[in-house]
């Protein structure tokens, strides 16, 4: 059995009013979740995530079980939002480590969706295991911007994947190659936004005890700004039962749905031919093909127009609150934008530049991206407000 020792801490930080992070640490599973959404919904989403994931994975400790648990969490958050409309739009990241059956023993597997992270520390070197599902990090992977540019990019917190926002789910899983003494760090972005990799190695590596390391990491994040909730879980591997190859497979996408295969095939020889004399002289096979093609073209144009009119989202003002609309800001042909979500963030509580952008309408590619953008703008405004001493 692969085992570990652990320590963890979660802190509200210096700016946020509530802690929307959640964490579970046992000898069988470690989970960190970072919730998002107004009216305390982020806290609900993250708590649902860690509790349901821990329960489901306990019943099936395998790579397939990771996928099952992730989908169970996603479904539960979606259903909760339907049952409680005031929580619509809530979501959460999730990063977890679980010992699973592997060959003739057990190995440490991980799963990730969002921008909470998993790091591996060994001999004073740190390696980021997970990849952030954010706009900026995807641009890094596409070669559009550098890693250094992504660290300060305004869209670094705009998530492209998150639990509870869409029925279609896509996450990452993998198996870790570890040895005794390795340390694994799971954390929300409240830590990584404030603490550099160099500082992470300095504060989290042996011989510093796990409890001292966790306390130091949280303290450093607060000292560097503490603009978000901070959650840290630190493990030290005590025993390893299976030697996993150094480069373990990391499939992207927790569920592959095979395309449907046609169960019937029709040969052109089976199509009954009508005798030419039964048809009007002006109806020919060429006429039929042209008519069908024209009808298909017209239908395709309407589909494309409808898609263009409703494929985007934007942020705007709704009686003093930041709202999310679907469609084009000024409408398109006979398609008009519709309001799909109203956040709890006040339009007046924005930095001047963000307020000007909101008046012009801020375009986003998805509902979750729009809500995250609103959250980021409000957080940026909070960071400019004086901290009231307790």
List the chain domain ranges. 3-239, 311-383
d(CA 315, CA 355): 11
User: What was the pLDDT predicted at 220?
Assistant: 97
Contact 29, 98 (CB under 8 A): yes
Work out the burial of residue 322: count CB atoms within 10 Å of its CB; fewer than 13 is exposed, 13-18 middle, 19 or more buried: buried
User: Looking at the predicted structure, is the pLDDT value of residue 306 above 60?
Assistant: no
Say which CATH topology domain 3-239 has: Phosphatase 2c; domain 1 (3.60.40)
Per-residue pLDDT tens digits for 358-381: 988 898 878 778 888 888 888 888
Mean pLDDT of the 47-62 span: 96
Read off the pLDDT band of 195 (50, 70, 90): very high
Mean pLDDT of the 130-153 span: 78
Q: What is the pTM of this model?
A: 0.65
What residues contact 104, with CB distance under 8 A and at least 6 apart? 242
Per-residue pLDDT tens digits for 284-301: 555 666 667 777 777 666
User: What was the pLDDT predicted at 366?
Assistant: 80
Q: Choose between 383 and 277: higher pLDDT.
A: 383
For residue 171, give Cα distances in angstroms to 61, 178, 270, 290, 293.
17, 22, 46, 45, 40
Mean pLDDT of the 10-16 span: 95
Contact 135, 160 (CB under 8 A): yes
User: Looking at the predicted structure, is the pLDDT value of residue 275 above 80?
Assistant: no
């Amino acid at each position: 059995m692969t085992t570990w020792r652990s320590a963890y801490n979660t802190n509200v930080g210096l700016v946020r009013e509530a802690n929307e992070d959640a964490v579970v640490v046992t000898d069988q599973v470690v989970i960190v979740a970072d919730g998002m959404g107004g009216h305390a919904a982020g806290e609900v989403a993250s708590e649902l995530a860690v509790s349901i994931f821990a329960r489901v994975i306990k019943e099936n400790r395998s790579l397939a079980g990771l996928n099952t648990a992730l989908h169970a969490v996603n479904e539960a958050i979606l259903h909760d939002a339907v049952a409680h409309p005031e929580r619509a739009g809530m979501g959460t990241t999730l990063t977890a480590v679980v010992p699973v059956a592997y060959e003739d023993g057990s190995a440490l597997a991980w799963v990730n969706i969002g921008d909470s992270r998993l790091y591996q520390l060994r001999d004073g070197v740190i390696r980021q295991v997970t990849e952030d599902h954010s706009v900026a990090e995807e641009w890094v992977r596409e070669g559009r911007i550098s890693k250094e540019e992504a660290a300060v990019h305004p869209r670094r917190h705009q998530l492209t994947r998150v639990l509870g926002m869409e029925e279609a789910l896509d996450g990452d899983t993998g198996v870790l190659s570890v040895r005794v003494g390795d340390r694994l760090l799971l954390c929300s972005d409240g830590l990584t936004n404030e603490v550099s990799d160099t500082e992470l190695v300095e504060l989290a590596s042996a011989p510093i005890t796990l409890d001292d390391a966790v306390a130091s990491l949280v303290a450093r994040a607060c000292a560097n700004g503490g603009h978000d909730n901070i959650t840290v879980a630190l493990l030290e591997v005590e025993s390893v039962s299976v030697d996993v190859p150094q480069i373990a497979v990391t499939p992207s996408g927790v569920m592959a749905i095979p395309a449907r295969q046609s169960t019937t095939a029709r040969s052109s020889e089976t199509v009954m031919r009508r005798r030419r004399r039964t048809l009007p002289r002006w109806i020919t096979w060429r006429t039929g093909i042209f008519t069908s093609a024209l009808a298909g073209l017209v239908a395709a144009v309407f589909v494309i127009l409808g898609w263009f009119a409703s494929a985007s989202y934007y942020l705007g003002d709704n009686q003093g609150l930041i709202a999310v609309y679907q469609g084009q800001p000024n409408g398109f042909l006979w398609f008009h934008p519709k309001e799909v979500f109203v956040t709890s963030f006040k339009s007046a509580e924005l930095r001047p530049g963000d307020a000007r952008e909101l008046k012009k309408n801020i375009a986003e590619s998805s509902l979750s991206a729009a809500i995250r953008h609103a959250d980021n703008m409000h957080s940026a405004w909070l960071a400019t407000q004086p901290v009231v001493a307790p």
